[in-house]
Amino acid sequence: MIKIHDLSFQVKDRFLLKYINLEINKGELIAIVGPNGAGKSTFLSCVANEIQYKTKHFLFKDKDVKSYKRSEIPLHRAKFSQHQSNEINLKNEEIVLMGRYPYFKTEADLSDLEIVEKWMAKTETSHLTDREYEQLSGGEKQRLHLARVFAQLENNIENKLLLLDEPLNNLDVAHQFKTLHLIKEFTNQNNSALVVLHDLNIASQFADRLILMNKSSIEMFDEPKKVLTQERISRVYQYPCIITPHPENQQPIILFG
């Protein structure tokens, strides 16, 4: 799905990312975790080609990522950004419809509108249609943009990639889990997702593999059980912790303090 070899990103002479190597398979849900300033969002921006990085090679579906046409790549890859614009003077369903912009010229097809409706229902935002965007709460706005991003990747292409930068911010517990289930549902269809998460326990429950970042590079990239050890987490986060298995699924649970 993705093969990255020696990726670096620097601003002036300070490295924000150093020699990142990564291989992600199709159908994987990968969580990126790590302390503040470790380079999680920067790394995701690199994978999304939002910033200019240096790399030996970066293959996306066995093709150089730069060889994709501008109009073609939105059908394969979508990104949910951490900060959503606050001033969008549009109806909420028109915002979700933007996810379908790569699919139609000027007039949306009926199928586009159906997809918008479907994802608004799935993200529980259907009831927001008659409210103004600017009056919505942070979590509601967030779910609306999630619907937009999911609507963007609704097509027949196989092995799509979804990039999400802290999608759970502002969401209440129930919506956090519902959102993760949506992401899981997406990756179960042979798609991949790369998700920046703050909550180690949620990452541990849902992710197939974890990227633990620390000081601009990848500390470890493996299954949650292997990455989340008491010694490593305490060292990386510089705070003591205890690790115990989840009573139901045996995944590691981290208790700080």
Partner 1 sequence: MKKKVAVYKVSFFIVLLVALVTALYLGAYDFNHSVFEIVSTYFNTNTHTADSFVLIELRIPRILMAILTGAALAISGTSLQGLFKNPLASPDLIGITSGAVLFAALTIVFGSAVMHLLPAFFRYVLLSIMAFIGALLTMWFVYKMATSNGKTHILILLLSGVAITALTGAVTGFLTYISTEEELRNITFWSLGSLAGSNWWKVCLVFIVVLIGSIRLLSKGKILNALMLGEKEAAHLGFDIEKTKREIIIIVSLMVGCVVAFNGTIGFVGLVVPYILRFVFNSNYNILLPLSMLLGAVVMLIADTISRTIVVPAELPIGILTAIMGAPVFISILINYKRKLK
Specify the stretch interacting with partner 1 by CB under 8 A; choose among 73-81, 119-127, 186-194, 230-238: 73-81
Q: Which residue's CB is nearer to partner 1, number 51 or number 255?
A: 51
Q: Which residue's CB is nearer to partner 1, number 40 or number 209?
A: 40
Least distance from partner 1 to the Cβ atom of residue 128, Å:
15
- Backbone angles phi and psi of 246, in degrees to 5: -65, 130
Q: Which residue's CB is nearer to partner 1, number 152 or number 176?
A: 152
Q: Which residue's CB is nearer to partner 1, number 98 or number 220?
A: 98
Distance CA 227, CA 21 (A): 17
User: Is 52 one of the binding residues for partner 1 (CB under 8 A)?
Assistant: no
Q: Which of 87, 130, 231, 248 binds partner 1 (CB under 8 A)?
A: 87
User: Is 35 one of the binding residues for partner 1 (CB under 8 A)?
Assistant: no
User: Is 88 one of the binding residues for partner 1 (CB under 8 A)?
Assistant: yes
User: Is 67 one of the binding residues for partner 1 (CB under 8 A)?
Assistant: no
Site for partner 1, rule CB under 8 A: 48, 50, 70-74, 77-79, 81, 83-85, 87-91, 94-95, 98-99, 101-102, 106-107, 152
